[in-house]
A and B are shown apart, each in its own frame.
Chain A
Amino acid sequence: GQQVMQIPQYQHVQEGEDFTTYCNSSTTLSNIQWYKQRPGGHPVFLIQLVKSGEVKKQKRLTFQFGEAKKNSSLHITATQTTDVGTYFCAGRMKTSYDKVIFGPGTSLSVIP
């Protein structure tokens, strides 16, 4: 079936180090969204990527959408303790505009 995978599952970094999470889909996506969920919280929308090869930045966060629209990445430069949480990608399948599938998430811990 259609799947969205993320790696790594967990990442522990020292404060100030960079962090990257990768998202891969088994099928071509019409768009991809990224969400952040703080411990004990709910997912909060970060960004949406639509175009092949698209790159968007939000301060220290850089989001990329692959040329084939099957993968994406989120890179955080110089992590801070406020970056702690689980980062989910959510892919909208091209075959069905109603179907959004979330990846399992990458849980980020930042050691001060």
Chain B
Amino acid sequence: ETGVTQTPRHLVMGMTNKKSLKCEQHLGHNAMYWYKQSAKKPLELMFVYSLEERVENNSVPSRFSPECPNSSHLFLHLHTLQPEDSALYLCASSQGRGPLEAFFGQGTRLTVV
């Protein structure tokens, strides 16, 4: 158990659906991240939140919409996704945006049909 919990663990959704991924950290960290892990591709940083403020958005399509209501919770709202968006979505947290280790959740395996 890493202290970072993601739900759901698996999600299958149609291209017209709207769903949300949830991440919760119990480590008292003040920075949270969304990563996308596709087969045969490096981990891709999607969004960074620090102190509930979005500080980085790596050219992610608008069909992905993050939300950070407080320092312990992070959401990724999904709508009108494409099959190529199927991947493992990993949430991570760290103490500060500085060079400190990131703790990852177990990920949500998303399949878009």
Contact A97 B99 (CB under 8 A): yes
What DSSP secondary structure best describes chain A's contact surface? Answer: strand
Docked Cα-Cα span, A48 to B100, in Å, equals 8
Assess whether A50 is interfacial by the CB under 8 Å rule.
yes
Chain A residues engaging chain B, CB cutoff 8 angstroms: 4, 30-31, 33, 35, 41-45, 48, 50, 88, 90, 92, 97-105
Instruction: Please tell me if the beta carbons of B106 and A41 are within 8 angstroms of each other in the complex.
Output: yes
Contact A42 B41 (CB under 8 A): no
A42-B105 in contact (CB<8A): yes
Assess whether B66 is interfacial by the CB under 8 Å rule.
Answer: no
What are 11 A-B contacts defined by CB distance under 8 Å? A33-B99, A43-B104, A44-B2, A44-B104, A45-B101, A48-B99, A48-B100, A100-B45, A102-B35, A102-B42, A104-B41
In the bound assembly, the distance between CA atoms of A45 and B98 in angstroms comes to: 15
Provide the main secondary structure of the chain B interface: loop
**Chain B interface size range:** 20 to 34
Does B102 belong to the interface (CB within 8 Å)? yes
Does A43 lie within 8 Å of B43, measured CB to CB? Answer: yes
Assuming A100-B45, A102-B43, is B99 touching A42 (CB within 8 A)? no
Closest residue of chain A to B35 (Cβ to Cβ) is A102
Contact indicator A31/B103 (Cβ below 8 Å)? no
